[in-house]
Amino acid sequence: MQQITIVSESATALKPLLESAIQTELRMIGLGIERTQQKMNEFERQYEMMSNEFERLFDSGTIDETLDYIEWSGEIETLRRLQAKYQTLQRAQLS
């Protein structure tokens, strides 16, 4: 568990601003997740293969490293990172 202390000399209440900023970031990350999933779905349709199967083949070197495959692999990694960020922010508590 991490704990952060923020001090402000402003008379404006800081907690509502931080809560709003977190909600905005969650929405932005959510949009990024949707776009990434759409791109992955396009690859899955184009190559008639699910992303988990593609990743297994790509990582094992069974299939060649084409530009599309490198991009697809990048989208899979991007999705993982975005989901991790989303979960972290969703669990954040302001006291």
For residue range 38-89, list pLDDT tens digits in order: 999 999 999 999 999 999 999 999 999 999 999 999 999 999 999 999 999 9
Is 50 within a domain?
yes
Q: In which domain, by residue range, is 58 found? A: 14-91
Given pLDDT bands bounded at 50, 70 and 90, which one contains residue 6?
Answer: confident
Residue whose tokens read 């905005």: 24
Return all residues near 8 (Cβ < 8 A) that are at least 6 apart. Answer: 14
Query: How many structural domains does the chain have?
Result: 1
The C-alpha atoms of residue 88 and residue 84 are separated, in whole angstroms, by 6
Q: pLDDT at residue 36 above 80? A: yes
Is 70 within a domain?
yes
Is 74 within a domain?
yes
Is 40 within a domain?
yes
Is 4 within a domain?
no
User: Count of CB atoms within 10 A of residue 93's CB?
Assistant: 5
Is 84 within a domain?
yes
* Structure token digits, residue 59: 């990582």
Q: What is the pLDDT of residue 9?
A: 81
Question: Please, is 87 exposed, middle or buried when counting C-beta atoms within 10 Å of its C-beta (0-12, 13-18, 19+)?
Answer: exposed
